[in-house]
Amino acid sequence: MSLLVGCLLALATAACRTPPVSLAQGYRTYTTEDYSEVLKRWTRKTQTFSLQQTDELLTVESTYQSWDFRWAYAERYATDYQLGDAERETLRENLLRQSSSAHEFYVTVYGSSVRWVDLHKPTTAWIVRLVDESGAITSPSDIEPVKKPGALEKRYFPYTTPFRNVFRIRFPRIANDGKRPSVAPDAHWMALRFSGPQGRGELRWDVVPAAAAPTSPPESPAAAGK
């Protein structure tokens, strides 16, 4: 019986696993209609923490702001704000430049104790690290709280709610050991790892290693017949 349950759980896990994403840079053909699908591609959520007390649940949802995501975000933002061609191009260039300097995540967290989920304060019950398949562990260079999420956050990250703490968390491109990249070019996955006295859990992105990435960038979902 236990073997059957184990097999069913394994099958369920495989079925729920999201397709790997590509960290490849390059030109995209996204339009504003593609944003929702691209947001979904780069967003992960978990509540499956190994907690010592079941009433101390922690919910985390996060979007990795990759090159690919930022391109789609720029298109949606420029359309919403009626930007001209020059302004649209400047916005896109600035966003893509930021993706080259750090790994940035938009993160929302919810827990039974507000003080414990203030990730930027010493009173937090959780620390967050960026980890990858190679074993690299990277501490944040910046945890920026979004104290009063407004129309922009709720529009572009719809899972933002008044009941969640919101942060922009940035990690350097070099891991804590100062020698290797925080996400190795040949890594098949990377993850945000939350750990503390209450338990541990991960938000995981399966990725296509740089060496195996396609030469052409991802196609617009609309163009692909979405």
Q: Which two tokens stand for residue 2?
A: 């236990």
What pLDDT shows up at residue 19?
87
What pLDDT shows up at residue 18?
80
Q: What pLDDT digit, counting tens, does each position of 162-198 carry? A: 989 999 999 999 988 888 999 999 999 999 999 887 7
What pLDDT shows up at residue 198?
75
Domain 45-66+102-212 adopts which CATH fold?
A: Immunoglobulin-like (2.60.40)
Examine the pLDDT at 9 and tell me if it is beyond 50: no
Examine the pLDDT at 57 and tell me if it is beyond 90: no
What pLDDT shows up at residue 201?
83
For residues 116-133, average pLDDT: 86
Is residue 4 very low, low, confident or very high in pLDDT (cuts 50, 70, 90)?
Answer: very low
The dihedral of CA 73, 79, 80, 86: what is its sign?
positive
Percentage of the chain beyond pLDDT 70 is 79
What residue ranges do the domains of the chain occupy?
A: 45-66+102-212
Q: What pLDDT digit, counting tens, does each position of 62-118 carry? A: 999 999 999 999 999 999 999 999 999 999 999 999 998 899 999 999 876 667 778
**What's the pTM?**
0.83
Examine the pLDDT at 12 and tell me if it is beyond 60: no
What average pLDDT does the chain have?
84
Q: What pLDDT digit, counting tens, does each position of 13-29 carry? A: 444 568 899 999 999 99
